[in-house]
Amino acid sequence: MLTLLHEQRETTLPNAHASGDALWLDRLDIETTTGWAWKPEGLCRNDICVPLPRNAAHPIVKHDKLDLAAMWRHMGQPVVHDASASTWVFGTGPEQRASALASLEAPDFELPDLDGNLHRLSDYRGKKVFLATWASW
Amino acid sequence: MWQALFESLQGQGIVVLAIAMDNAQGARPWIEAAKPSYPCLIDRDHHVADLFNLVNVPQAIWIDETGRIVRPPETAGSTDVLRMMDRTNGALPEPIMAERKRIKALYLDAVRDWAQKGAASEHVLAAGEAGKRLVAPDPAIAQAHAHFRLGQHLLRSGQTDQARAQFDEAIRLHPDSWNIWRQAAEKDSRGLAAGPEFWARVDALGDKAYYAPINMKGVRPPG
């Protein structure tokens, strides 16, 4: 069973298969794991569509699956996996992070407190937020 | 850590949101001892560090009522005094202690000023200035966060050696991140990553700061 980690999502994928640095996912799994939709015009989210690269030697589409790892790298975003290629992290690229920050709109996130209650940054909209990090180490 | 500040901010439309760059096991004793009345969130995968390009603790971000960043990530009142510290007992020379206290107070006063005056506070940055102070991650940093995330996942599933390899790669790609290095390092009996390897990294900083100086009126750059 494959596990894919993206942002704060962790998804197990019974229908995906890995081969070397390729990770083949169907349409539904792509959307579930990353929020991106695989459409005829490319990989799309909100009003952005990134066309799939055309490379006859290394096709990125086979039957009903897309090599999402190749597509992700094509989009300038990090892809790493463990030695057995059973756990994959699809990171967010520096350009995507930089443009989110440049908007000055604080990127939203959801994290638990010690009791497991989830808090979203956006829950505090309407108040000022002094966000401060710390650690025990 | 922020309880006194939080209490002085009551009723002013501001929340303190403390984020532990830590796992629950590490953070729990501290939170239970401090009994804070503000939310303390656990960010075991350092997701917030990935989102905001953070490198150390404590760092703070000021976010206004509409969700806009009005002060980008910066050192949250700490001063770069590590290299003046007596490494056997953590003691600092008296003048350094006094300066450290002064800057901490100045920073907390700035937070209180913002709480009271909101956008009219002199510490709220105009969009242009806030944008200029934001540090965007480079490709190596983005890649480092992916390796760190995988390392934390592997560690939780007991694959210690594989996790270590991921952490080593994250550190190689993002050597400026103390969050990554210290989270992944061996801890001493106090739970601190403050052994000889830590001090060797501090010494290797050269002219670089462990805590970047706060860019705020009244704070002199160190040195």
If one counts the domains in chain B, the total is 2
- A contacts of B136 (beta carbons < 8 Å): 94, 97-98, 101-102
Residues B186 and B101 in one domain: no
Cβ distance A82 to B58 less than 8 Å, yes or no, reads no
Q: What is the ipTM of this complex?
A: 0.96
pTM (2 d.p.): 0.95
In this structure, the answer to whether residues B73 and B115 fall within a common structural domain is yes
Specify the residue for token string 């975003």.
A77
Same domain (yes/no): B52, B123: yes
Are residues B78 and B115 part of one domain?
yes
Q: Which residues of A touch B48 (CB under 8 A)?
A: 109, 111, 131, 133
Tell me, yes or no, whether B29 lies in a domain: yes
Query: Quick count: other Cβ atoms within 10 Å of Cβ B85?
Result: 15
* B32 and B106 belong to one structural domain: yes
Please give the mean pLDDT across all residues of chain A: 96
Identify whether residues B128 and B167 lie together within a single domain: no
The predicted pLDDT at position B220 comes to 74
CATH number of the domain bearing residue B107 = 3.40.30
CB pairs under 8 A between A and B: 218
In terms of domains, do B12 and B94 share one? Answer: yes
Rg of chain B over Cα atoms, rounded to whole angstroms, equals 18
B175 in the same domain as B126: no
CB atoms within 10 A of CB B190: 8
Residue B212 maps to a domain: no
Residues B132-152 pLDDT 10s = 999 999 999 999 999 999 999
Pick from B44, B54, B95, B1: which is nearest to B178 by CA? B54
Both tokens of A12, joined, read 């197990």
Please report the pLDDT score of residue B162 as a whole number.
98
Q: What is the gyration radius of the CA atoms in chain A, in angstroms?
A: 17
Please state the φ and ψ torsions of residue B202, each to the nearest 5 degrees: -65, -45
Considering only CB atoms, which chain A residues are within 8 Å of B26? Answer: 135-137
A135/B27 CB distance under 8 A: yes
Q: Which domain holds residue B194?
A: 139-203
| Shared-domain flag, residues B19 and B119 | yes
| pLDDT grade for B22, boundaries at 50, 70 and 90 | very high
